[in-house]
Structure 1
Amino acid sequence: MAVDFEGLFAAARAAQARAYAPYSRFKVGAAVLGDDGAIYPGCNVENAAYPVGVCAEAGAISAMIAGGGRAIHAVLVLGDGEELVTPCGACRQRIREFAAPETPVAIAGPGGIRARLSLAELLPASFGPANLRS
């Protein structure tokens, strides 16, 4: 399946604009390309009780599952600032649940894609669904 990184970027940018980040003021958008060919966006949603907020990647994955997708073929994460905004550790594991080690993960800023990595580069020697099969 060809990856439409421009489409992923556009979806992540639109989601980022709708993020709810009144505490950190750090809005993040994400988009995943599902195995059904659809692009699913997500944004971060903060909460006054900090641990119960939701990352943009988690929102995008939830949207994919709710929409009928079952596997991730690509991910794009968009954040502001000078540093790369890569998925947190928990989201790397969430992505791993539905993606193969070679799945591309694009890291973007307001001007476009800044880096492309594989999931294996972000989460080496990962634990995934195959580890639980007997």
Structure 2
Amino acid sequence: MSDDLFSKARSAMRKCHAPYSRFPVGAALRTEDGRIYAGCNVEVVSFPEGWCAETTAIAHMVMDGGGVIAEIAVVAEKLRACSPCGGCRQRIAEFARPDTRVFLCDAAEGVVETVLMEDLLPKAFPTEAVR
């Protein structure tokens, strides 16, 4: 992972709207053709109707015409290595390959751990079954 992906994720984290949890999260993904999309978490008072950072980044990618996620970085202000929630794991799997790298980052240090999508979400719902 290049520093630009982590930098974009950290920058997105700083723009989050998390007045209820006070748990800022940012994500940035790179598609196989090199485009980068970032997102932050956006909370609303009627839980769970907000958006996770990964969801926002994926939505930006989809709005720009889609793509396949080659790698994604996730960073949270209050965790050393923030892993995507269960729902986001399935969302990422929808647009990724089993060998897509997921970088779990510390806001100050950068990448703490790298996992493959197939390890992060074994037995994901198969997207080919619904296409």
Quickly name the TM-score band, shorter chain normalised: over 0.9
**Which residue does 2:57 correspond to in 1?**
60
Is the Cα contact below 8 Å between 1:106 and 1:117 reproduced in 2?
yes
Q: How far does the alpha carbon of each residue in 1:66-109 deviate from its partner, in whole angstroms, 9 at most, with x for none? A: 12232111110001234521000000000011001110000001
| Structure with more strand by fraction | 2
Q: How does 1:84-95 map to 2 (within 5 A)?
A: 84-95=81-92
**TM-score, normalization by structure 2:** 0.93
Residue 34 of structure 2 is matched in structure 1 by 37
Structure 1 runs not aligned, ≥5 long? none
8 Å Cα contact 1:33/1:39 also seen in 2? yes
Residue 130 of structure 1 and its aligned partner are, at CA, apart by 1.6
SS at match of 1:100: strand
Query: Structure 2: how far apart are the matches of 1:5 and 1:43?
Result: 20
- Scaled by the length of structure 1, the TM-score of the pair is 0.91
Q: Which residue of 2 aligns with 1:122?
A: 120
Match of 2:45 in 1: 48
* Alpha-carbon spacing, 1:9–1:101, altered in 2? closer, same or farther (3 Å): same
Off by >2 Å, runs of 4+ in structure 1: 80-84
| Contact 1:103–1:119, Cα closer than 8 Å, also in 2 | yes
Higher-helix-fraction structure: 1
One-letter amino acid matched to 2:44: N
Question: C-alpha deviations, 1:46-79, integer Å up to 9, x for none?
Answer: 0011110100000000001112232111110001
Query: What is the root-mean-square deviation in Å for CA atoms of aligned residues?
Result: 1.3
Q: Which moved more, 1:49-58 or 1:121-130?
A: 121-130
Instruction: Specify the code of the residue in structure 2 equivalent to 1:114.
Output: V
The residue number in structure 1 matching 2:8 is 11
Give 1:25's match in structure 2, choosing from 22, 26, 37. 22
Number of equivalenced pairs: 130
